[in-house]
Amino acid sequence: MTKEAWCQHIESISGLVRPSRGGDFRQWRNFIASHNKTGCVECKQRAKTAKANAARKNRDSAMELCGLTKVRGAVSGRVYWE
């Protein structure tokens, strides 16, 4: 689930406006904290996506620190590190 879809999910459930659009940050965070305790499927999907994105960024930075560059294969289209 993308961050935008998750924000729309929170807005539809809570009736609050997200802080980036002029809503109150404290109300937004308090609602999210209480909503996370419900075991919402959409929120679990967002957490899984965010965790995967963070792992990818860490892996990419580690490869770049080793002096490797990201290359896309011409035939397969897969990403390789050289």
What are the average pLDDT values for consecutive 10-residue runs of the chain, which has 82 residues? Answer: 89 92 92 89 90 95 94 90 91
Domain that holds residue 34: 3-81
Instruction: Write out the two tokens for 59.
Output: 């892996």
Instruction: Write out the two tokens for 72.
Output: 């896309």
What pLDDT score does 69 carry?
A: 93
Are the C-beta atoms of residues 46 and 1 closer than 8 Å to each other?
Answer: yes
What pLDDT score does 39 carry?
A: 87
State the distance between the two ends of the chain, measured CA to CA, in whole angstroms.
31
> What domain count does the chain have?
1
Cross-strand pairs, 71? 80
What pLDDT score does 36 carry?
A: 85
What pLDDT score does 2 carry?
A: 86
